[in-house]
Amino acid sequence: MADRRCSNLAAVIFSVALLLFAADARPADKLGQYAIRGPGLLSCAIYSKERAARSNVYLITAAWVDGYVTGVNQYAPQTYDLLSFEGAELLMAILDEHCKTHPTDPVFGVLASLFRKLWPDRVTGKSDKTTIVVGGREATHYVELIKRVQKKLKAKRFYSGAITGKYSAETVKAMKRFQKSIGLDATGFPDQLTLWRLMRSE
């Protein structure tokens, strides 16, 4: 029931976001100013409270974030996807961590700052996706991301294979070695936390 409700809310907010962006594709007015709408106006204190309660406000905010990212993908130059692997729940958790120590910050400002930091690592062109199954767990990621993962693992001396974009047995072993090195369960699976620690070590 909750999943269906979240899905319906996401569809509504996504549609509204498209209408808003379609109405005016300019990034701001001549002074660089623009109106902020919806959950972006929430303070961090309210957001954290609603997230803890897993309330409708929280679900709406999560859907609003997806709409925000879609808008960036549609109108930002050389951008296929602002997020190379981050899912909504990871973004909401990162936002919550910030909000715990900065309760007066606005949600939009925090997300805008986070997205500026992620901008250099966006997927700039259409990339095929690949389904990865390891130990009974399954995830779908961009082939471009897997190439980046292999490059990162190679740079850290955990991987010595070719950069293929295929999540090979050798890549799984390399990921296990990386996970073990940072104290995570050595599953070899490219979960959100592992990818964040590997790709966003800064």
pLDDT tens digits, 93-143: 999 999 999 999 999 999 999 999 999 999 999 999 999 999 999 999 999
Same domain, 116 and 147: no
Other Cβ atoms within 10 Å of 39 Cβ, number = 23
| Whether 104 and 188 share a structural domain | no
Residue 27, pLDDT score: 59
**End-to-end CA, the chain:** 38
Average pLDDT over residues 12-18: 39
Three-state DSSP class for residue 160? coil
For residue 152, the domain's CATH number is 1.10.101
121, 149, 174: which is the final residue of a domain? 121
Residues 12 and 101 in one domain: yes
Whether 100 and 180 share a structural domain: no
**Same-domain status, 77 and 53:** yes
> Is residue 144 over pLDDT 60?
yes
Same domain, 92 and 146: no
AA letter at 141: H
- Has residue 13 got a pLDDT over 80? no
Number of domains in the chain: 2
Is the model's pTM score more than 0.95? no
Task: Tell whether the model's pLDDT for residue 19 goes beyond 90.
Answer: no
Q: How crowded is the C-beta side of 146, counted as CA atoms within 13 Å? A: 24
Residue 31: what pLDDT?
A: 84
- Please give the structure tokens belonging to residue 114: 């986070």
The residue count of the chain comes to: 202
- State which residues form the domain around 174: 129-199
Residue 17 confidence (pLDDT): 39
* 117 and 135 belong to one structural domain: no
> Which DSSP string do the residues of the chain spell out, in sequence order?
-HHHHHHHHHHHHHHHHHHHHHH---SS-TTS-----GGGGSBHHHHHHHHHHT-HHHHHHHHHHHHHHHHHHHHSTT-SBS-SS--HHHHHHHHHHHHHH-TTSBHHHHHHHHHHHHGGGSB-S---EEEEEETTEEEEEEHHHHHHHHHHHHHTTS--S---SS--HHHHHHHHHHHHHTTS-------HHHHHHHHT--
pLDDT, one tens digit per residue, over 48-59 is 999 999 999 999
**Buried-state track 151-173, b at ≥16 Cβ within 10 A, e below 16:** ebbeeeebbeeeeebbbeebbbb
In this structure, the answer to whether residues 50 and 146 fall within a common structural domain is no
Same structural domain, 9 and 80: yes
